[in-house]
Amino acid sequence: MLDIRDGTFDGTFPFAPRYLMVNGFGMHFVDEGEGDPILFVHGDPTWSYLWRRFILALSGRHRCVVPDQMGMGKSEVPQDAGRYRLVHHVANLESLLLRLDLRDVTLVLHDWGGPVGLGVAIRQRERIRRLVLMNTWAFAPWPAGPLPRLLEIIRSSRGEHFVLKKNGYVEAALRAGSARPETLPPAALAAYLAPFPTPASRLALLCWSRDIPVAENDPSFAEMQRIERALPAVADLPTLIVWGMRDSVLPEAVLRLWQRALPGARVRELADAGHFLQEDAPAPALRAVEEFLAALDRSPRSP
């Protein structure tokens, strides 16, 4: 395991590390609290640290399960790039869900966590109680216009040097995806960078960006399309969409796609937040989730 496995990052991440062998690699996850489970799924280039404030606030009434996806955070980093496709990430998360026997699950999904988590929700529909989507997508092809310049660089021939050798991606992505990059605390930036000290540790960062389905011949296009076409299977679930409206990666047009795909969803727009709304506007984002959970906890469950 990585040498950060016991790291608390100046006490901002005070959660006991837990591990399971999942599809041949050691997956790290946080498992805090009791009650109906909330499964938080991060995207790229973050890890479970993204959800630290949510875990602290919600674990008093809910079981918060927060994995690090393969190659990210405190999870192991297999060195076979072919294992970092969307279909594999879906299978990994599904394995964790089943190994922990999670039921009545609230899925909270961000960025790449959206298609990964929804891929699991479609396959394990009876275990999912509700959805929370935060600045994510699950549409093929890429629905947000031209790819951001940073992603274009990673997908080009320069990408391996930029990500693996230069370590240029994490900080650039966090700052470009924030509405107020100057407010990201140095300690938080250090925590986000900590899992990626060497070229070998950064493989997932390269693979995530290169796996975005832009054209039909991209390896994960068919899997993303399968997930998109199956969205009606989860459209009846209580759903909250919390959206940072200053997102330079997934702009407002993608939010409107979600509203058409999931017409019953409640929407909370955060005017002063960008892609990483958990850092830009943690208090209103958390409040929206707390209100959503409380309202549904007061409602009778479906049989």
* pLDDT for the residue 66: 99
The CA–CA distances, whole Å, from 270 to 103, 213, 287 equal: 30, 27, 12
Q: Residue 245 in contact with residue 252, Cβ under 8 Å? A: yes
pLDDT digits (tens, 9 = 90+) for 224-262: 999 999 999 999 999 999 999 999 999 999 999 999 999
- The answer, yes or no, to whether residue 2 has pLDDT greater than 60, is no
Query: Active-site residue numbers?
Result: 111, 247, 275
* pLDDT for the residue 303: 45
* pLDDT for the residue 132: 99
**Average pLDDT across the chain, whole number:** 96
**Tokens coding 22:** 């999942």
- The answer, yes or no, to whether residue 302 has pLDDT greater than 90, is no
* pLDDT for the residue 18: 98
Range with lowest mean pLDDT among 40-54, 141-155, 285-299? 285-299
Among candidates 151, 174, 178, which has minimal Cα distance to 163? Answer: 151
- What b/e sequence results for 10-30 when a residue is b if at least 16 CB atoms lie within 10 Å of its CB, and e otherwise? eeebebebbbeebeebbbbbb
Q: Report how far Cα 43 is from the mean position of its chain's Cα atoms.
A: 3
Binned at pLDDT 50, 70 and 90, residue 156 comes out as very high
* pLDDT for the residue 145: 92
Among candidates 198, 212, 87, which has minimal Cα distance to 141? Answer: 212
* pLDDT for the residue 1: 43
* pLDDT for the residue 297: 76
Q: What is the pTM of this model?
A: 0.97
List the domains of the chain with CATH numbers.
18-297 (3.40.50.1820)
- The answer, yes or no, to whether residue 87 has pLDDT greater than 70, is yes
